[in-house]
Every structure is written in C-alpha cells, then in structure tokens.
Structure 1
C-alpha cells in the first residue's frame, strides 16, 4: 500500500460550500396553486399511499430506486435532498404526478386522520392553520417553499389535511422527459424534518402537467424506512458522504423554480450525485461531505485531518490497497482570515481519485476524520465497484 496524490484538493467549488448554515437549508420553490384536476390527481396519489401505509404492497409499473443524503439544517432540523430513479418503465412516465409523504415510523393512515380530528376539536377548520413546512424557518417571510402545495392537498382528502397530520408531504407535476436526457428518469427533490424514525412514501402516476390522466395511467410506489439522526450534538459528526459526478460553482443564484428541482445546489455550489457506485476504470471517484461540531482555537480555526484508505475485496478477503496523502485543515493550511464560526460551524471537504490504476473489482474506501483539538475521530465507509465498460454499449 502506498500514498499517491489525489486531484482537486479542496478546490474552488468546495470553497463555495463554505456558506452560512441558514443558506444550506433553503430549498425554496416556486410552487403554483393546484388546479381542480391536479387536486383530483393528488387525491388518487394519497389514496395509493394510504393503501400501502395500511398494509398493502408497494410496487407497480416501475422500479423506483430511492437514495438520499443527510445534511444538518437549522435549529436541530435535518435537510434531506433525495433522488428517485424511475427504472424498468420504457416509454412511460414522460410527464408524471409525484406525491411525497413522511410519516412517523410504523403508523398507518388512520393515525394521521386521528391527529387531524383532534386538531379540529380545537376549532380550526381545514386550511385555517399554517401547514407544516419546516423550510419556512430558513427563508424570508412570503418566500414560496417546497411543500407549499400541501396547503392544497387538504382539498384532495375527503376530510382535508391538517398541518399536524404528517411531518412532511408535498405533490409535484413534473416533465420528466424534458428534465432528463433519456430514461431511466431521475426525480430530485428535498425535504426537511426533525430527527427521528420515519417511513417515507413516494407515489408516481402518469399524468399531464395540468393534472389530467388517462384511466389506464401507469403508476408506482415505494416505501422506505428513514432514520434521521440529530446533528446538533456537542461532538464531532459527519454528514452523509455524497459520491458525486460533479461539484461545480454556481455562476449566479438559482431562481425559486430552478432550486425546486436542484436540491443539491448548496449555497454557491452544486453537487451532482452519481446514480450508482459502479465505475469505469477511466472515471474519477469524487466525494464531498461536511464535518460538524469541530472544536476551534480562539480565532475560530480547527485542527482536523482527513485520511482516505482503500481496501480491495478479493475472494472474501479485505486487503489494504492504497491510501491518499492526508488532508489537513489547521492554522498552517487555512487562510489567515478563516473563521469556522462565521460559516455555520461546518467544514466541507472533497476528494477526487482517478481509478485508472484500480483493477476490476469491489472496493471499500475508509474515511477517517480526526479532530485533534477534541481528541475525537470518526470513520465512514464508501463501497464501490470498478469494471471495464469499454466494450459495453452506450
């Protein structure tokens, strides 16, 4: 095992992620009021999710593949950008309605309706109380945000929807054919919730952007358990490690409409996550993540080392393969004016590793973060596969 130099060490794009925390958790969205057809379509989607929440099976006319990342939000909340790949559905879902619900783990649809009933006993009717949209805490008053259409979802339920029903829900009407180069289509959105254990549901149906749909419209639904940790603890913590296709600085701030479909635009940079972790030997393995709750000196500078060690998995054995030179963030490597307290007490880092010297096989990258001032360390693993795709069809 030997060290070798990685590429793009803490480059300009990653520096753009050094942003105040309030901006990290600001997925503003230009949502329009739902039409009557869209409300009817939302009702069909919620009924699909209710059926699965009450013991039915997920599935349908497509294989929905879920992935997500956990990033620290403000006031103890967690910002979760996510992707859903609509696979094994050729010539379907060119345009689609999409409903996202986050419920407490293990509860059925009746639990939500019971909370709504209790709320009504206080004298509030449907639509009279603000809906639960945690992102509103992070944007100026009056800014439209993700989940804004949950206000209209009240009308899609026979009983209406109250803000106390679910921690998060939203509905979208998306031109998947127009926002993806080709199938399988990818849906990217975000949600924000408090730490806890949840069930997340995503229901999708073929529907026009105006909400109209054929009687034989195809549909699919997924259900995943979602554990959301607390990031406001008084100790070293890490965000999810994002394996990225690209990390690019933004030339200008995104509009509200652009931000809705680009949840990985964080402050001044945008991360494009990979669809899977199977790579060609001609690719680079690119990573980005955030370090939280680092101790600093009196001037706000941390003393942190990040070590990357690769292990190969061969014939059931795990063997050290290679390692990179450590990344050090301290008084000697950071700019004189750097103050971690001024950027939300979070430190991003990235790593880019060319894979041309990796033989085909399965690998695990072990990432070790050491906070020398706190005498604390954490380890995260990333697994990936390298294979030769030179003879594969595009």
Structure 2
C-alpha cells in the first residue's frame, strides 16, 4: 500500500516528457546484432511486409491479442503510447521470442516530385525489435512514441532462432491494431485514464533499458494496469491521469477542481449512485515551487468497492479549470462482481 496524499504531492508535478525522449533515443539506437538475432529480424520484417502488402496471410501458430493501450503527452509534441498484448504461452515451445513492432501511418504518402525517383528505402514512424522472455501469464507490455494521427500497428513474433542443426522453424504469431493517436497541444485536456491493479513508488527512476521493459512507469511511479473492467467487491477502483493545457494565474499556479461521480446502470437506465469529495489543485494544495507553465498536473483517486452492489457502473471524472472556464470529462466503465 502507498501513501496517497504523499503520492499526490510528489507526483502532481510529474512530467511525461522524459519518457518520449528516452524511448525515441532507444528506438534510434541500432545496436550490433548477432547472426541469429539478425536472422530473426529479417524474418519478422519480411513477415510484416508481406502481411501489410496483402501478399501473405497473418500467421496464427501462436495467438497474439491486443489487450489495450493508453495515450500520454510528451514534451516533444509526440504522444507516448504504452500498450499490452497477450501471447498464448501454451502455444510456444519455449519462452524466448523475438518480437517486432512497426507503426505505419494511414495517411497517404506524398508522391515524389516530378522528375524524381521514389525513395528506395522506407522509414516508419516507429519500428523496434525486442528479444524477450514471455512470462507465464503471456502479458507483454511495451510502448511507442508517435506524432498525432491514425496508424496501423503490426506486431510479429517468433520463437528465437538457435544454432541447433536441423532445428525446426520457430512458431510465429501476429496481431494488427489501428490506433488514433491524439494531440495534447492547446486547451485543457487529459491523458487516458489508467486503472491500476497495483501501484509501487520506486526509490529512484528506472534506467533507459528498464523503462523500455516497464512502459507503465512514470518517474518514480510504477503502475500495473488493470486489464479487465471487472472488480471483486473487496477490491478498489484506483485511477491515474495527467492534465494538460491548464490556464495559469499571475503566479503560474492552476485553479482546478476534479469531481468523481459514480453512476449505476440499471434495467431502467443509468442513475446517480454516489461521489467522492471534489479535489482542488491550486496554490493552497500544491507545493510552493509548482509552475503549471512547465509542469503537468497529476490526478489520482482510489475508491473501495465494498459498498457497491454487484453490477455495472460508470465513473465520470470532470476536470474544471476555473481560470479559463474549460471543462473536460472522462468516463471509466467498470463492473463489480457478486460475492
């Protein structure tokens, strides 16, 4: 368990910008690969090329499903997109796999100027290779950093190549997902709301490589995202989000309120259930050194569900900027299971 008040005071000033910078730097670095690693890279790149072009079907030896993703702002104008896929661990002969991730813009590429040949090499908004061990639960989390826009994301994986003579080709799996990546520039906005299964406050930030392996770590805050909307009555709904585009006062402080209203879905429609006290983020509640012109605000609320009857609910989060008069709303659907 963590101290929620201490977390709010220390992470209200948390920045996401370093994540995008770190991830992009790693993606741009191309380390020297072994012969077997390069063999896997070539195989996976050719596989994605073929499936994307429609010249070969997507492989299905190993089931890969897209579980979910979130969108957060970086300081580079790009959007940080952590995601989770589920790999059918039982279909793998071994846990060691190579995984290739590529994002392709769905916007039409501009034609080459008259008299000029089309480029012979193609660059993608994001492509990355991972050599990983798939855990027993099959969940693999990684991240992309992309400009706003619409993309097809291709993920191909295969069992790692070995130097064993007459070894069978490694089993392969594939998933394709379309993402609409938002821009967080301009007026009041919020990141995706992350519903946490577990939360850990770290003693120090992760290294670049550790960050790559743990994309849901933000500074000293490590979140294990909830991958289902169903909770036991003994559980707690715990939400995290960042707020952008806030109007500053003369002292570079915000004046925000955050409301959390719960609505229950019934046979007769939706009805109000309950709410928590509004949260205020202003000069009185934030650290004296806080500067909203250079730091992003952080929101968090945790609600025990013991008093919620079994059923379906919607949490409505309303963020109001009193200085600009702007309001943003986010919905979080969830289910409380029967005992």
Residues 327 and 211 from structure 1, CA distance in 2 versus in 1: closer, same or farther, beyond 3 angstroms? farther
1:172 maps onto 2:124 in alignment: no
Cα distance 1:33–1:300, how it changes in 2: closer, same or farther (>3 A)? same
Distance, in Å, in 1 between the alignment partners of 2:333 and 2:163 is: 42
Match of 2:245 in 1: 293
Query: 1:254 and 1:90 mapped to 2: Cα distance?
Result: 32
Residues 152-184 of structure 1 deviation map (CA, whole Å, 9 limit, x = unaligned) = xxxxxxxxxx4x5211101111012xxx3x32x
User: 2-side partners of 1:212 and 1:67: how far apart?
Assistant: 39
Task: Return the offset for 1:225.
Answer: 0.9
Any idea what the Cα deviations from partners look like across 1:219-247, whole Å, max 9, x if unmatched?
A: 211111111111112x1011111111233
SS at match of 2:119: helix
Distance 1:304 1:104, change over 3 A: same
Distance 1:326-1:83 versus aligned 2 partners, 3 A rule: same
Q: 1:315 aligns with which of 255, 260, 267?
A: 267
User: Which structure is higher in RCO with an 8 Å CA cutoff and minimum separation 6?
Assistant: 1
* 1:98 pairs with 2:99: yes
- Matches of 1:11 and 1:97, distance apart in 2: 40
Q: TM-score, normalised by structure 1?
A: 0.75
Partner of residue 209, structure 2: 257
Q: 1:14 to 1:91 in 2, by over 3 A?
A: farther
Report the CA distance between 1:19 and its aligned residue.
3.2
Deviation at 1:337, TM superposition (A): 3.2
TM-score, with length taken from structure 2: 0.87
Instruction: Give distance in 1, aligned partners of 2:271 and 2:164.
Output: 54
Q: 2:222 aligns with which of 258, 263, 270?
A: 270
Residue from 168, 172, 187 that aligns with 1:215: 168
Q: What is the aligned partner in structure 1 of residue 184 from structure 2? A: 231
Superposed, which structure 2 residues align to 1:56-75 within 5 Å? 57-58=57-58, 60=60, 61-75=62-76
1:21-44 per-residue CA deviation (whole Å, 9 max, x = no partner) reads 532423365974221221121122
Match of 1:23 in 2: 18
Indicate which of 138, 159, 175 corresponds to 1:206. 159
Change (3 A) 1:21 1:264: closer
Task: Determine the structure 1 residue equivalent to 2:231.
Answer: 279
> Which residue in 1 is equivalent to 2:7?
12
- Cα RMSD (Å) of the superposition? 2.9
Distance 1:65 1:284 in 2: 25
- Residue 349 of structure 1, aligned match among 294, 299, 304: 299
User: Where does the alignment leave 5 or more consecutive residues of structure 1 unmatched?
Assistant: 1-6, 121-161
| Deviation, structure 1 residue 105 | 1.5
Residue in structure 2 matched with residue 245 of structure 1 by the alignment: 197
Question: 2: CA distance between counterparts of 1:209 and 1:337?
Answer: 55
Indicate if the aligned counterparts of 1:367 and 1:381 stay in contact, CA closer than 8 A: yes
Residue 239 to residue 36, structure 1, CA distance change in 2 (3 Å): same
Change over 3 Å in CA distance of 1:215–1:67 after alignment to 2: same
Moved more, 296-305 or 41-50: 41-50
Matches within 5 A, 1:179-194: 180=135, 182-183=136-137, 185-194=138-147
Does structure 1 retain, via aligned residues, the 8 Å contact 2:8–2:299?
no
| 1:363 pairs with one of 313, 316, 326 | 313
Deviates further, 190-199 or 42-51: 42-51
Q: Residues 8 and 253 of structure 1: is their aligned pair in 2 closer, same or farther, counting only changes over 3 Å?
A: closer
**Which residue is 2:52 aligned to?**
53
2:35 equivalent to 1:36:
yes
Go from structure 1 to structure 2 and tell me whether the alpha carbon gap of 1:38 and 1:78 turns closer, same or farther (over 3 Å shift).
same
SS of equivalent residue, structure 2 residue 293: helix
Distance 1:224 1:355 in 2: 33
- Aligned counterparts of 2:271 and 2:166: Cα–Cα separation in 1: 54
